[in-house]
Structure 1
Amino acid sequence: MNLNDILIFTEVVASGSFTKAADVLGMPKSNVSRNITRLEKSLGVKLIERTTRKLALTEIGRTYYEHSVRMVEEMEAAKAAVEKMSLSPKGVLRVCTSVSVGQNLLSQHLAAFTKTYPEVSLDIRLTNRRVDLLEEGFDVVIRVGDLKDSNLIAKKLCTQHLLLYASPDYLKTTQYPLLNPDDLNRHACLYMNAVTRRAKWTLHSISGADEFEFKPFLSCDNFQVLRQLATDGAGIALLPDYLCTDYVSDGRLIPVLEDWVGGEVDFYTLVPSRRGITPKVRAFLDHLHERCMSNPNLL
């Protein structure tokens, strides 16, 4: 069954003649007649009785017309809804990122977004599991580090750095110096083991890179836990700077070996395709990127 034939049928009935319907639809009268004939053949019934003076609906035609009108109204309503959604950001926006990024970076931008776009309902999921954006139906995923999904569209948000931190209490009580990476051998090092079990820090300075292997005093797969341990004086931790900004500002943590940096961490937004970017996704991406541009220290 051809939906266009149904649309033409309803217009013929509403106009009262093939000629008037053809004028409204902007098509030849012969084409209108041909479409109606095709519709009747597909249904196997007569819908319209044709005379030289006027046309009249058969009993079956009247019943079919009543249903057809409702169908056309639904089609027009669906089209209007799609057009409206294509013009303004609205609907549910599903976003996924890691627990750390969600709690410490993404969360500070959500309230401003919802105030700007009240018709967008955010569904935020935090997990350290590597999700399948397409399979699990997410609109946007924020990832850190190397990207492996070649079929996704990625855009870099910002770059953060890994730095060494310790608490004032730890630095006051330790009896060992801390002037260069070699001195770390004598200190309690707190290690993030989510990436590799081999305890190794690669520290970069102006003169080059030093690879430092050690036996960790404690290892954990969560940066927030390591930050808390460092704050409590358990040792020295290599942490993303975005996690420690407030802690440094209020004196809970102090950067150590500041001439050495433990590498860079890149943050990306991922979406399925450019063609499929809806207004709500575009608004969210623009919101994040604009805030990154205005403040490089924030996601």
Structure 2
Amino acid sequence: MEQLDLNQIRTFIKIVQAGSFTKAAEVLRQPKSRVSRRMAALEKELGVQLIYRTTRQFQLTEIGRQFFERGRNLIEGLESLSSEISETTSEVSGLIRITASDDMGILYLPALLDEFCQVYPQVRFEILLTQSYVDLVKESVDVALRIGALKDSSLKVRKIGNVKSIFVASPGFLERYRQIEDLSMIHQWPFLSLKQQEKLDVYRDSDSKKITLKVKPTFSSNNPSMLVPLAVRGRGLGFVPEFLCREHIRSGRLVHVLKNLRSDEVPISLVTPDQKEVPLKVRKFIEFAAKRLKELF
């Protein structure tokens, strides 16, 4: 007992919290083999079995359950103390891994990260931009900027606002299609579509009533960022996220039309893996990013 290793106890706690050796290894950012060795060493040191193992799952023994309940308080208390001491003695530094959709990331992250690095120059960033879902734990990602409702309840979510799509068209397009406010004509106009959709659900601002419109896509894409420059060039009526076309509307390159119609509003959030102690660099970034992004959304 005099040689009991706190790292072994911490590994056991993380295994139970994660629900598997594999997930615990991901959380601890260690090889699964090391996690297994530490678990075996802890049981050998204690002289008791804490976990019944099978090929696909495990179950706590009674003594394992008791050891977990009391050991968890010990480990979480030490982690909290360590974090408090580090926060007062260490500068904000190190690598932060971020993921976002490519349209949102390209538009907003450069200025945001540049401003943050002016305050905390010892921080480095690795940025993963993709339209696909990213498993934050599996990919060791610290922060995600996500649009839409989140299905994974194990993540920590900080909502920063809402986004919606609106109808936009170029001045030249409006010259050619002067009956733009006549919804009965919309199926006759060139339309810029996501994923070749021929039906579009929109909502009226006046009463939130849902309306389904038939449209005729002339260009379609899996990424709305592709549709905005096509709308600027007059290639069709676009229904795109408002944040992507704000500057074009301000400059007059695009006109917001059918202003009483919009998409359903969806949340935009900063998301992190659920962990007891969030690193100081990540907490500082989330606080900074949330404040800046709330000003935009």
Identify the residue that residue 135 of structure 1 maps to in structure 2: 138
Q: TM (normalized to structure 2)?
A: 0.68
Structure 2: how far apart are the matches of 1:205 and 1:82? 48
Matched residue, 2:127: 124
Aligned to 1:149: 152
Matches within 5 A, 1:89-128: 89-128=92-131
Alpha carbons 1:164, 1:262 under 8 Å: kept:
no
- Following superposition, the deviation at residue 3 of structure 1 comes to 5.3
How far did 1:180 drift? 4.0
Report what 2:289 is aligned to: 288
Q: After the TM superposition, which residues 118-267 of structure 1 pair with which residues of structure 2 at under 5 Å, given as runs?
A: 118-174=121-177, 176-193=178-195, 197=197, 199-207=199-207, 208-267=209-268
Say whether the 8 Å CA contact 1:160–1:241 is kept in structure 2.
Answer: yes
Secondary structure (helix, strand or coil) at the match of 1:156 reads strand
C-alpha deviations, 1:257-282, integer Å up to 9, x for none? 11212221321111112523111111
**Map 1:76-91 → 2, pairs under 5 A:** 83-84=85-86, 87-91=90-94
* Partner amino acid, structure 2, of 1:109: L
Task: Determine the C-alpha separation between the residues in 1 that align with 2:198 and 2:269.
Answer: 26
Superposed CA deviations along residues 188-244 of structure 1, whole A, max 9, x for unmatched, are 111112xx8553232323132211132322211111110011010001011111111
User: Alignment partner of 1:185: what SS?
Assistant: helix
Amino acid aligned to 2:233: D
Letter in 2 for 1:206: S
CA distance in 2, matches of 1:261, 1:276: 40
Tell me, in whole angstroms, the C-alpha distance in 2 between the residues paired with 1:3 and 1:279.
Answer: 31
Contact 1:180 1:257 in 2 (8 A): no
Which residue in 2 is equivalent to 1:52?
none
Distance 1:271 1:258, change over 3 A: same
- Hey, what's the Cα distance between the residues in 2 that align with 1:133 and 1:155? 15
Once the two structures are TM-superposed, the CA of residue 292 in structure 1 deviates from its matched residue by 3.1
Change in CA separation of 1:216 and 1:80 when aligned onto 2, cut-off 3 Å: closer
Q: CA deviation at 1:255?
A: 0.5
Distance in 2, Cα, partners of 1:138 & 1:82:
23
How far residue 83 of structure 1 moved from its aligned partner, in angstroms, is 4.5
Aligned partners of 2:198 and 2:216 also within 8 Å: no
Which deviates further from its counterpart, 201-210 or 88-97? Answer: 201-210
Unaligned runs of 5+ in 2: 6-44, 46-80
Q: Quote how far apart the aligned CAs of 1:173 are.
A: 2.1
SS of the equivalent of 1:132 reads coil
Stretches of structure 1 that go unaligned for 5 or more consecutive residues are 6-41, 43-78
Do 2:197 and 2:217's aligned partners in 1 also have CA atoms closer than 8 Å? no
Taking a change above 3 Å as real, the CA distance of residues 201 and 188 of structure 1, as seen in their structure-2 partners, is: farther
Structure 2 counterpart of 1:98, which letter? Answer: S
Q: Report the alpha carbon displacement of residue 82 of structure 1 after superposing the two structures with TM.
A: 9.8
Could you say what secondary structure the match of 1:189 adopts?
Answer: strand
Identical pairs, percent: 27
Counterparts of 1:217 and 1:203, CA distance in 2 = 23
